[in-house]
Structure formats: structure tokens, C-alpha cells
Amino acid sequence: MAIWLLLLFLLSPLLSSSTTTAKITHLFPSSIIHPEQLKISLATKTTNKLYKEKFYTQILDHFNYNPQSYHTFQQRYLINSKYWGGANNNSPIFVYTGNEGDIEWFAQNTGFMFETAPHFKALLVFIEHRFYGKSMPYGGNKVIAYSNSTTLGYLSSTQALADYATLIVDLKKNLTATDSPVVVFGGSYGGMLAAWFRLKYPHVAVGALASSAPILNFDNITSPFSFNNIITQDFRSESEKCYKVIKRSWQEIDETAAKPGGLEILRKSFRICKNYISAGSLKSWLGTAYVYTAMTDYPTPSNFLNPLPAYPVKQMCKAIDDPKTGNNTLEKLYGAANIYYNYTGDAKCFDLNDDSDPHGLGGWTWQACTEMILLTDGNTEESIFPASNYSYNDRLEFCKEKYNIEPRPSWVPMEFGAHHIHRVLKRFGSNIIFFNGLRDPWSGGGVLKDISKSVVAIVAKEGAHHVDLRFSTSEDPEWLKHARKREIHIISKWLSQYYRTLDDSP
């Protein structure tokens, strides 16, 4: 999830010299590792085999009845019926509740569903979130859809949930599979949606696997320092020295940049392309690498955000701690950055101005300006990033300037519930798994303790951002195998219980 949110808001302390607007402009992901090409190779490898692409005529506004609410758009979903036991057997339907990006990307990174489908004889459906990928209102025209707050206004989580409910109910009708149980899956923002979907639409889904879903990261329920504390801890757990090098490096970068010819030194040290450099953009580029590497600190090689080796935080620290680099901080940092930005070794230079968006995540800025007020930008004195307070006002100012709109920070906890969640859900609701990996900076906003017998937390000390949902590999550690096994076991229980109830009430 975090990509745009992070880029916009997490790293702001790294850019203390720039104005709010300048901050934003230079905070997009930077790399020249040809993400488009990566995407295509993945797509050709998998698309034809894994799923078919379909479209559903979706209503623009579910909650009002103004004439414009009746407008429709084509919502994309991906479907795989290879393993499905069929409507006659009431075989289950596994639905991925799409996040803030191209649904193919999420499907390709949710191997868990493909791998468990044969066991459950499940139909697989991945639904794209409105205003992302090909699911663009206004005739599929992204330029219009994203043009202003009047058109973007319909991009909201409640609308997305109602989209999913409507599509699922209609799809089941069309498949004459009205008695097939639906289980929803999602990771990150998609995991939040999955959990909320089970809570708001229990009549549509019998259960939800919400992976790395920071539903408590609102309204100060989770400390705004938690996110960066966890990143700090991730690096410290690998090497105290590594952590200290990074922690001290921000000042060194500023000092170097301030010297005559300093920017040129920095440019050369980090092989930055000739088009642009500033201390702020460099720090943001490095910060991005640390944040995303911590988030995707998987135990096996991966290619979610960028291609990465197994345990990439360890690898970064290895590069930093490399005795060959001596006391040369810049060389150390360059080694670390290379892990995240250039693991394939193809990069000739790095473009700090790169604002390509291969996974189509741009709409998140709007969501982060309206309802997704996940404050994560606090840094204590101990933080691996420069100490700083978190600031709702920075967000407010940015959003006013960008969209002339004011966030509604209390809306999400008000609508979906977050305060005292253990008290509330102890005797209400059922059948939700909250998976969290404690190395994931988002885990601080997750549900980490069982709430009831059937609203349970699976916590993996060694896990990162929705690692459980990824394709398995032969090198998966035991803790990961165990977490997935437990998830399968729990989902099986939901389904058997559903079938028993179905038999009881014909």
C-alpha cells in the first residue's frame, strides 16, 4: 500500500530544507531498472496461464441517487476457474479485494490463492479497485478521472467495498453459484478492505484473510512513531553499526551538499544521472530504499517493488558493514542503495527525478488526502531517520494545496471501527484472520492479538509485508510454512461450518 503514502509523507523530515510543495514534487520512486519491462515479462509469464481478464459494469455512486450517481464504468476483474469445483458442489469462491494499483500486479504477488485453490476447489477472482489500473470511471479516461476533486470524489474505500459486494453478488448469480461461500483475501490496503468487507458484508463473505492490514493506524490509536521505530529495529537487528552509519549519514549528506562542488561529489558517489540532484532528493531516494527494503524484507528473493535478494535488510547492512568501504559513508550508502535499486546490476545511472508509476499507484495521493490518514512520519531520537515530530498539519496543507480539499481523519475509524477493537469485536463478528509480520513497519498498526475464537491474529516475528500471501518457494522457512498452514486450517474450518449451516437450512 504504502508506496505513495510513504513517498509523500513518511520521508518529509529528510527534506527539511524544501517547501511542502517541493517535497512532494521530488518524492516519487526513482530507479532506472526498467520497471515497465519487468512488468511485461511478469505478465507474459503469467497472465495467460493464471487468469482471464473480464469487465463488470459498475455503478459510480452506491450511496446517493443524484443523476450522476447512476453513471457507470467498467470495473476489471481477473478470474481463474481452473480449480473450481463448480456451482453444483457449492465450491468456494476466493476473492482478492484489490488495492491501490493495477490488479494484475497484486494477483501476481498473491500466489497463496493460486496455490491453495486446488485444495479448496476454489474459483479465484481478483477485483480491481476503482480508479486504478483499467477500472477507471469517466469512460476509462484516467486524465479526466484524475483531473480534479469533482471527478476523483468517487474514489473512496466505502465505494470500493460496495463495488466488491455488488460484483460478487452479481457474479454468483450469473454462475448460478449463489450458495458458494466467498472468502476474501487482501494484503496491505487490500487487507484492510478484506477485513472491513467481512465486517460490513458478512452476508457476502463468510470470512476474510487480512494480511498486513494496518486498520489501527488511525486517529493516534497507533503511535505515529511506530512505523519508523520498526524500520529502525529491523536494521539494528542486523547490525548496530549499520544502523549507526545510516543514522549519521543524513547530516553528512547535508554537509557534503553544502560544500562547493559537494553536489557533484554526491552525484558521482551514487551514480546519479546528470539530469538532477539535490540533498533532499538524494535523501528521499535513500530513505525510500530503506523503507521499502524493510517492508519487503522477505526470506527469499522477490520482485514485488523491485527485484531483491533474500533478507535484503541483511544484505544492505552487509554492504554498509563491508570492510572494503572503510570509513567512506557515501560508498557504504551506495552499496546499500544498489541492493534496492540495482539488484539486477543493469542500472547505468539513477534518476532522482524518475516519476514513472509502473503499478499505477498514483490515486493513493488522493486517498491519503481524503480518508487514509495513516500518520507514520514520527521519528524519535533513536530513529534511523532524522528525529522529527509527525504532523497532521503538513498533510492538511499539502492536500489543500494539491486538491483544495480537507482530509477527514476521523472518518475511517468512525466508519469501520478501530478504537477498542478488542472490546467491540469480542462478541460481534467472526471469521477474520489478521496476519502480521513484525519486521513490517506497518505491523504496528495491525491487530496483533486474538480478539475472539474466530477473529484471530497470526503473528510472524520474522515476517515482512504480507509475506504469507506470496508464492511459496522451496527455500521458505518453517515459520512461514507454519503461518500458511494455519491460515489454510482456519479457512477450512470456516468453510465446513458454512456447509454444515447450509445443510441445516435448505
Residues forming the active site: 188, 440, 465
If binding is defined by CB under 8 A, does position 411 make contact with a second copy?
Answer: yes
* Start-end of H helices in 26-175: 35-50, 103-108, 111-120, 142-145, 149-152, 157-174
Q: Which stretch binds a second copy (CB under 8 A): 30-38, 130-138, 200-208, 433-441?
A: 200-208
Position among 19, 36, 44, 63 found at the interface with a second copy (CB under 8 A): 63
CB within 8 Å of 268: residues ≥ 6 apart:
none
Interaction of residue 65 with a second copy, rule CB under 8 A: yes
Site for a second copy in 442-481 (CB under 8 A): 454
For residue 184, the minimal CB distance to a second copy (Å) is 14
* Three-state DSSP class for residue 117: helix
Cell 497484486 sits on residue = 106
By C-beta, is 243 or 494 nearer to a second copy? 494
Q: Work out the burial of residue 156: count CB atoms within 10 Å of its CB; fewer than 13 is exposed, 13-18 middle, 19 or more buried.
A: buried
The correct pick among 428, 481, 492, 496 for binding a second copy (CB under 8 A) is 428
Residues 6+ away with beta carbon under 8 Å from 286 = 14, 249, 253, 333, 336, 337
Closest CA to 125 of 98, 102, 100, 162: 98
Supply the minimum distance, in Å, between the C-beta of residue 164 and a second copy: 11
Does 208 bind a second copy (CB under 8 A)? Our answer is: no
Which among 329, 64, 109 is positioned nearest to 212, based on CA atoms? Answer: 109
Distance CA 506, CA 504 (A): 6
Residue 222 lies near a second copy (rule: CB under 8 A): no
Footprint of a second copy on residues 308-337 (CB under 8 A)?
Answer: none
Footprint (CB under 8 A) of a second copy, residues 69-98 = 69-70
Residue 301: phi, psi to the nearest 5?
-55, 145
Residue 31 or residue 157: which is nearer to a second copy going by CB?
157
Judged by beta carbon, residue 215 or residue 277, the one nearer a second copy is 215
Q: How far is the CB of 406 from a second copy (least distance, A)?
A: 7
Give CA 255 to chain center in angstroms: 34
CB of 55 to a second copy, least distance (A): 20
**Is 417 among the residues that bind a second copy (CB under 8 A)?**
yes
Helix (H) and strand (E) counts for the chain? 20, 10
Q: H or E element: which one contains 239?
A: none
Say which residue the cell 542486523 belongs to: 238
Nearer to a second copy, 17 or 166 (CB): 166
- How far apart are alpha carbons 193 and 164 in whole angstroms? 10
Cβ distance to a second copy smaller for residue 198 or 332 = 198
Selected binder of a second copy within 26, 76, 130, 200 (CB under 8 A):
200
For residue 496, count CB atoms less than 10 angstroms from its CB and return exposed for 0-12, middle for 13-18, buried for 19 or more: exposed
User: To the nearest whole angstrom, how small is the minimum distance from the Cβ of residue 89 to a second copy?
Assistant: 18
For a second copy, the closer CB: 26 or 200? 200
Q: What's the closest the beta carbon of residue 177 comes to a second copy, in angstroms?
A: 14
Nearer to a second copy, 137 or 191 (CB): 137
Query: Closest CB to a second copy among 331 and 415?
Result: 415
Q: Which of 356, 391, 473, 497 binds a second copy (CB under 8 A)?
A: 497
> Are 373 and 392 spatial neighbours (Cβ–Cβ below 8 Å)?
yes
User: Minimal distance in Å, beta carbon 216 to a second copy?
Assistant: 12
DSSP code for 77: E
Cα–Cα distance between 151 and 60 in angstroms, integer? 10
CB of 373 to a second copy, least distance (A): 13
Q: Which range, of 88-96, 199-207, 256-264, 471-479, touches a second copy by CB under 8 A?
A: 199-207
Site string for a second copy, 365-404 (x = CB under 8 A): -x---xx--------------------------------x
Residues whose CB is less than 8 angstroms from the CB of residue 62 and which lie 6 or more positions away in sequence, other chains included: 69, 158, 159, 162, 163, 166
Stretch that binds a second copy, among 119-127, 309-317, 335-343, 413-421 (CB under 8 A): 413-421
Q: Are 198 and 425 in contact (CB under 8 A)?
A: no
> Least distance to a second copy from the beta carbon of 358, Å?
26
Cβ neighbors of 206 (< 8 A, separation 6 or more) are 181, 182, 183, 431, 494, 495, 498
Interaction between residue 503 and a second copy (CB under 8 A): no
Q: CA-to-CA distance for 414 and 418, rounded, in angstroms? A: 8
HSE-CB of 314 using CA atoms within 13 angstroms: 10
What 3-state DSSP class applies to 56?
Answer: strand
Query: Residue type at 191?
Result: G
* Closest to a second copy by CB, 419 or 485: 419
The Cα 145–Cα 131 span in angstroms is 7
Site size with a second copy, rule: CB under 8 A: 59
Binding residues for a second copy restricted to 137-176, rule: CB under 8 A: 149-150, 152-156, 158-159, 162, 165-166, 169
Could you list the residues that contact a second copy (CB under 8 A)? 61-67, 69-70, 149-150, 152-156, 158-159, 162, 165-166, 169, 199-204, 366, 370-371, 404-406, 408, 410-411, 414-415, 417-431, 454, 497, 501-502, 505
